[in-house]
Amino acid sequence: MENISKKRIIQCFLFAGFSIFLFLVGLTVIPCFDGGCALMFLSIFLFFSSLAVAGLIFYPMSRAFDAVVTDANLLAHWTYDPAWYDRILKREYEEHKERNAALLVIIDGMFLLFALFFILFVPEGGVETGFVLLGIAAFMFVVAKITPGFFRDRKAKMPAEAWISTKGLIYEGAVYPYSGFLYGFTGVSYQEGDEPALLFRFYQITGAKIYDPFTITVPVPKGEEKKAREIPAQLGY
């Protein structure tokens, strides 16, 4: 399996190189008060941002990826049957559509009510405001309809594999270390059912004392249920 994070590091360095080019343009081609100084300031910001992203995010992820795939005590490595995995993707696609439809009813319903209010009861500028709100509602409707298919097609191109180690998780080509910059791991549990799964729970820090939890659902292939039930205890949960 390819370590995608290494590509991201190279892309960050290329972008940092492009930032140096922008800095030189601002320094030698464009006069300072005609935008040259602003371009130099922006290029410095982009340069250090690129290095920070490479060093704080993608480099640790790349190391974690290598640590998982070379772990001598790998807990599980599952390669999914294409037909079975396709059924999983279809189920997730339908669930995604249902979630989007529920949110769309609430959010677009509010936009429609506000749009009607402005069109009917606000004499100056109300019609224009109402049509803007209707346009936003239409845009959100289109986005809600196309995103499930976009994510389904994107996941279908990912490796249908799962690597589970004491050092991290790799699922569909993405690596999830158990500790990292601005995020952490809170546990794993086994979910019973017709299609059992392991639920890996993480959180991402999105602001001061704001923790955004998310879950990675790893399907358990047929015949691997016993091994999967043991994994939470092996990880200390």
Return the H-helix or E-strand segment holding 219.
Answer: strand 210-219
pLDDT for the residue 191: 94
143 & 200 share domain: no
Task: Among 110, 138, 156, give the residue marking a domain's end.
Answer: 156
* pLDDT for residue 43: 93
Q: What token pair was written down for 133? A: 């709100």
Residues 193 and 226 in one domain: yes
d(CA 80, CA 87): 11
Does a structural domain hold residue 77? Answer: no
Is there a single domain that holds both residue 143 and residue 196? no
Q: Which segments of the chain have a pLDDT < 50?
A: none
For residues 120 and 184, membership in a common domain is answered with: no
Question: What pLDDT was estimated at residue 158?
Answer: 82
Is residue 196 helix, strand or coil? coil
What are 90's two structure tokens? Answer: 């279809």
What pLDDT score was predicted for residue 29? 87
pTM above 0.85, yes or no: no
Q: Can you give the pLDDT at residue 151?
A: 84
pLDDT at 31: 87
Please give the C-alpha separations between residue 36 and each of 16, 31, 32, 39, in angstroms, as whole numbers: 18, 5, 4, 5
Quote the domain boundaries for residue 87: 83-156
pLDDT of 46 = 92
In angstroms and rounded to an integer, the radius of gyration of the C-alpha atoms of the chain is: 24
Centroid of chain to Cα 226: 30
Give me the number of domains the chain comprises.
Answer: 3
Structural domain contains residue 74: no
- 42 and 93 in a single domain? The answer is no
Last residue of a domain, one of 69, 92, 112: 69
Residue 78 lies in a domain: no
